[in-house]
Amino acid sequence: VHGQHEAVVQHVATEHAVVSLLGTGQLTAIPVASHLNDTFRFDSEKLKMGQSVKVVLKSTQIGDHGMVLAVQSSGKKKSVIRSRHESETLEDTSFVTKQLPSSGDIVSGIVKSVKPTHVLVAFNDRLTGSIHASQILDD
């Protein structure tokens, strides 16, 4: 039973989300944060009801209060299950098919936060990045 499993988000709370494992219907809780310092997420990064996620089961012991413990897989980006409208075009619905920037490319972005060690930049609604202070030139 250990290993990666597909799951669908059923409920999202402040510190955890409840997901149902596909194929079994078993409910389990997963932490919303992937790290103790993970305190801020853009809306595009937050879990949503109906969203498909991959989870890794950590325990299936009956002695664990009857609940399967799981963590969200650090693999591919999660995708949202939603219905498509005919008015949508391929150009504005599929960021995945667009090529991501390569090293050395010049891109535009919006600074979301400035910290002593890094700057968090949003390049669009689905792509964010952190720039370390040592990589920032001061004119």
Predicted local confidence at residue 69, as pLDDT: 54
- Residue 98: the pLDDT is 53
pTM of the model: 0.43
| Res 81: pLDDT | 44
CA atoms 137, 130, 40, 38: torsion sign = negative
**What is the predicted pLDDT for the residue at 101?**
67
Predicted confidence (pLDDT) at residue 26 exceeds the cutoff of 60:
yes
Q: Residue 6 is inside which H or E element, if any? A: strand 3-12
- The domain locations on the chain are 4-72, 106-138
Least confident of 57-61, 114-118, 119-123, 129-133: 57-61
Calpha distance 111→93 (Å, rounded): 24
**Residue 114 pLDDT more than 60?**
yes
Amino acid code (one letter) for 89:
T
Across the beta sheet with 110-114, the strand order is 110-114, 118-124, 127-132
Looking at the predicted structure, is the pLDDT value of residue 7 above 70? yes
Among 125, 39, 118, 111, CA closest to 77: 125
Tens of pLDDT, residues 59-112 = 555 554 444 556 566 554 444 444 444 444 444 434 444 556 666 777 788 888
Overall average pLDDT of the 32-58 stretch? 75
Q: Residue 17 in contact with residue 47, Cβ under 8 Å?
A: yes
Arch. (CATH architecture) of 4-72? Beta Barrel (2.40)
Tell me: pLDDT of 19 over 70. yes
